[in-house]
Amino acid sequence: MVPKHQIAIGLPNLVAIHDKEVRKAGSFRTETIELCSQCGARFSIGYIDATKENSRGKDEIERSPGRLIEILTKDHRQERVHKDFIDLDL
């Protein structure tokens, strides 16, 4: 879940959640969707328990797919299974 210190200051982290887990995430607001280029796994990128007013800037949202792709590529190189929940704190 979201780290307590992030909730306390009102700036939640951007996270990626595997689509099969999005329904379990509670109040998750999707900003964008990204696919793993190697296995096709679909991830929703957004915020948990965040309103539009306390979300981070558009610049961070635009950089988040690149960060997720780096993480997913590293998973494949190291022959790891993708996590269902990935913190994209930039």
Q: Name the amino acid, one letter, at 58.
A: K
Q: In the numeric block, which tokens belong to residue 30?
A: 């999707």
What's the whole-model pTM score? 0.77
Domain ranges of the chain: 4-87
% of the chain exceeding 90 in pLDDT: 47
6, pLDDT greater than 80 = no
- Pinpoint the alpha helices (H) of 1-90: 4-9, 58-77
Q: In the numeric block, which tokens belong to residue 70?
A: 């780096």
**Higher per-residue pLDDT: 56 or 26:** 26
